[in-house]
């Protein structure tokens, strides 16, 4: 559904609640719609019979159905837009435009619909790559990243000691396993070299 479809409003006859059946057609961007077939259409059209807003002063409300689109923000950086939307929203963030490898991954992700698994898988991967890119960018600017702080180790120590201990244990197990694997591989290469010489 496009934004223009959001502008669907009952005709003046329907709004007044006087004779809904005499004018059941509403014109939309997709063509005319027979609102008499839509269950509940115009149930809130009668402003005098609106129990959900009994406390509300609606005397100044605009029930004309006219809507003027607000001024759109103009992009000054690259924006990635879903294939499911024809136009940009009125406002959007510009603080982190796509760049480098993570940007390429995000551009690729936006070739697919939001209902496709590749869209989200690529975006999640791009977030991880972007984290590494941030570390490289810090080092390039002679800024030593405070990795424990950025990973929230202090907060985890305060609020989730058990989870932090589990993460440290898993990291130690993986590191220890890689160390043992590299040592055993080195020994195998030494043994092979001795056999070839002897």
pLDDT at 198: 67
pLDDT category of residue 105 using cuts at 50, 70 and 90: very high
Q: What is the mean pLDDT of the chain?
A: 82
Please report, for the chain, how many H helices and E strands are present, in that order: 6, 2
pLDDT at 42: 80
pLDDT at 22: 58
Contacts by residues 30-33 (CB-CB < 8 Å, ≥ 24 positions apart): 30/5, 33/8
Q: Which residues of 168-178 are buried (b: 16+ CB within 10 A; e: fewer)?
A: eeeeeeeeeee
DSSP summary character for residue 33: E
Q: Check residues 76 and 150 and name the one with the higher pLDDT.
A: 76
pLDDT at 40: 83
Per residue in 142-168, pLDDT (tens digit) is 999 888 888 889 999 999 999 999 999
Q: What span, in angstroms and rounded, lies between the C-alpha atoms of 28 and 67?
A: 14
Q: Check residues 91 and 63 and name the one with the higher pLDDT.
A: 91
- Interval 44-69 mean pLDDT: 70
Determine the Cα angle at 91 with ends 64 and 93, to 5°. Answer: 165
Q: Check residues 181 and 9 and name the one with the higher pLDDT.
A: 181
pLDDT at 6: 42
Cβ atoms 10, 45 nearer than 8 A: yes
- Interval 174-180 mean pLDDT: 94
The partner residues of 32 in beta bridges, in order of sequence, read: 27
Closest to 75 in 3D by CA, of 59, 64, 91: 91
Closest to 90 in 3D by CA, of 63, 72, 108: 72
Token pair for 24: 């059941």
Token pair for 47: 């402003």
Q: Check residues 2 and 44 and name the one with the higher pLDDT.
A: 44
Closest to 150 in 3D by CA, of 130, 169, 121: 130
């Amino acid at each position: 559904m496009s934004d223009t479809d959001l502008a669907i409003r009952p005709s003046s006859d329907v709004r007044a609640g006087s004779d809904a059946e005499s004018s059941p057609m509403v014109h939309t961007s997709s063509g005319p719609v027979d609102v008499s077939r839509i269950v509940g259409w115009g149930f809130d059209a009668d402003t005098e019979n609106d129990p959900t807003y009994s406390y509300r002063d609606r005397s100044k409300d605009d029930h004309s159905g006219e809507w003027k689109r607000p001024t759109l923000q103009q992009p000054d950086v690259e924006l990635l837009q879903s294939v499911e939307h024809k136009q940009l929203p009125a406002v959007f963030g510009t603080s982190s435009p796509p760049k480098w490898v993570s940007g390429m991954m995000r551009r690729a992700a936006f070739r697919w619909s939001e209902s496709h698994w590749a869209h989200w898988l690529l975006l999640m991967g791009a977030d991880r790559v972007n984290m590494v890119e941030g570390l490289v960018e810090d080092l390039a600017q002679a800024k030593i990243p405070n990795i424990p702080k950025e990973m929230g180790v202090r907060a985890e120590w305060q609020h989730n000691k058990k989870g932090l201990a589990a993460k440290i244990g898993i990291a130690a197990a993986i590191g220890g396993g890689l160390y043992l694997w590299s040592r055993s591989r080195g020994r195998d290469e030494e043994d092979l070299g001795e056999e070839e010489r002897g």
